[in-house]
Structure 1
């Protein structure tokens, strides 16, 4: 079976669809740029605020909380305002939050101000994320071929660029209070211009036409009672956990478990991102040829093998190869899950919102859970949770098939 639904009758001209494709890629890349920029400056923020590891973890929880709070209603916002305006609104919140956190951390060393900024940052990313996935799925349907993983690859590249620019800023001594507000301005302007190329509101959120707020709320509640939507959410939860485990812990795990330097540990995480980006770029061709279930089954098994090798290899170079395989194997699960949630366009905003809430719970709870487990068995062996969870997720693959 083909991996995407049959394209709807093209209500937009092909040139408009291609422009929307570019706009969505820009939105994904800039979202990643903002997040990568923040994570690159966390060491400077921790030093400025003189935080212990525990207090830093609680501070970072403000950002995750903001994202999870935003997602239950972000689908309703996208239906009400359209995806373009919702992305612009999310970008505004991201920019204000990022700039606020940077200024309060660097100039005032005021922890509550940084926490408020991070909550706004997280709320903005959550709102932005759901809207750009809805738009990306609509563009994918009109193109008639799989492209969502490439949008997520753009996010990965944006986050790497943000981290790289953040490292340069730290190296040259650029203050957080200057770097983050400048980045926030670039992100806001770029996201607004990218969103201007999106498809018209009536094409991406047709159910919003004439629908009352009460009707939209009923549609959202109905999505929470749909078995397929909930199972897709569970599948995305496992995928998000598997990605987040590498993002949060693979560098530390290699430092602790293989005795590499901190710089080498960071490079190992870079290997994971490269593998994931390659998988998302070329995996679209496999999805169109063999369908979601076959391709995801193969790639998840690759991720299981890769994560297991990364932990159990006993040899640094072999373990790094395992990390690359892990990134390659997990690359498609999250974006394909989002595409599956948006298969039926009239229900896409509510269903993507539900799946995002379930999936992003992994980013909220995954890091502390692995940290607690790492205290008992070591950070490297704690990563064995990833293959243990991925194997049962194979049973969920049939729910990713497009409805007939």
Structure 2
């Protein structure tokens, strides 16, 4: 009897609603990672330049930015579950425009809608998991993001698979977006999900608390972290094709090695952070990521370059989560405001840097343009050294 009682606190409630949130977040993460490989095929179909391709990936991020700035007003008036459902519907409608579009205006609009409306899923899942799992919700958030990482690995593989074995790459997009749409419609109409707004708003944005200056230092670290990640996700395939003569289908699928490295790195990082200082983990990750990138960029062998890509993912994996904790610690009591600017950081990074890299590729070629990533690694190292110095001085 006592043994059973002692084990009860360790039990985690994962009802069907929890799994529903897990998969909706995983679907959105999948879409973030499927955009780059899909646009690589769109470029040939509707004659896009590298600059226009970069603009497509930026459209998705611009939607995230719009959600980060204006979404708060809608979230105050919607129950979290209904907002989640609207996010699924937005993914479905945006995905439809993307796969049916035969001109940039349609495909750009589709990606923007998926980013802006689909981001409701990101904004609401922590609050829903708190309602469903209570004080075990942090475990739920971690599990949801782990599933998201695993599903993201399939994105480039699915695009390459359908492109090589089916008529088109499009099923890799519309299978997932259609599922999200159907679930979203069901959430909106099903009586199990109430339209009543609860008084508890633990995850609302805070407007009254000003953020200290060091928050913006670590915000910049986060922007660069996400920029490195998505520059490699979006442009590694083109680099492998242009520099190492890899076929488009193979290059698109092998980019998943970067995501495999990220999954392994995130799991290892979650264990190491329990024992070691965050900055030690960040500097070690930076070294591994930079080494992997250098091998990837310098190698003339496909196999060696892919090993470098795997190592780069292993290192980059811990940038995001660790940078987030630094932002929240620096923010002090203004944690909701910190969450808002962290969301904007992701949108700004995905919006700007892949587009800049694509524009440079049009001017100087993809190989030289990829040196943008090397510059980002250097800036990241400088900012982290300065940030650690600031924290050490404050604690001295």
Segments of structure 2 that go 5 or more residues without pairing to the other structure are 1-8
2:37 is aligned with 1:31: no
Check whether the contact 1:309–1:318 (CA below 8 A) recurs between aligned residues.
yes
Tell me whether 1:335 sits opposite 2:321 in the alignment.
yes
1:170 matches 2:163: yes
Output one character per residue of 1:167-188: Cα deviation in whole Å (capped at 9) or x when no partner: 3433454567777544322123
Matches within 5 A, 1:253-402: 253-313=239-299, 315-339=301-325, 341=327, 347-374=334-361, 375-376=363-364, 378-395=368-385, 396=387
Paired position in structure 2 for 1:126: 119
TM-score, length basis structure 1: 0.74
Aligned-residue offset at 1:333: 1.6
**In 1, are the aligned partners of 2:158 and 2:172 still within 8 Å (CA)?**
no
Secondary structure (helix, strand or coil) at the match of 1:81 reads: coil
- The correspondence of residues 45-194 of structure 1 with structure 2, limited to 5 A, is 45-75=42-72, 77-78=74-75, 80-81=77-78, 83-103=80-100, 105=101, 109-132=102-125, 142-143=135-136, 151-174=144-167, 180-190=173-183
Structure 1 stretch displaced more, 294-303 or 255-264? 255-264
1:116-173 Cα offsets, whole Å, 9 max, x none, are: 3222112123343343467679999934977766544422322232433333433454
* Residues 1:240 and 1:133: Cα distance change in structure 2 (over 3 Å): farther
Structure 2: distance between partners of 1:399 and 1:85: 43
> Conserved in 1, the CA contact under 8 Å of 2:27 and 2:177?
no
Q: Tell me the TM-score normalised to structure 2 length.
A: 0.76
The runs of 5 or more residues in structure 1 that have no matched partner are 1-11, 209-215
**Aligned Cα RMSD in Å?**
4.3
- Which is further off, 326-335 or 36-45? 36-45
Deviations 1:222-254 (A, max 9, x none): 45x433432332121111011012112222223
Match of 2:215 among 215, 221, 229: 229
Residue deviations 1:263-307 (CA, integer Å, cap 9, x gap): 453354222111111111232111223253332232222212222
Asked if structure 1 preserves the Cα contact closer than 8 Å seen for 2:28 and 2:118, the reply is yes
Count of matched residue pairs? 376
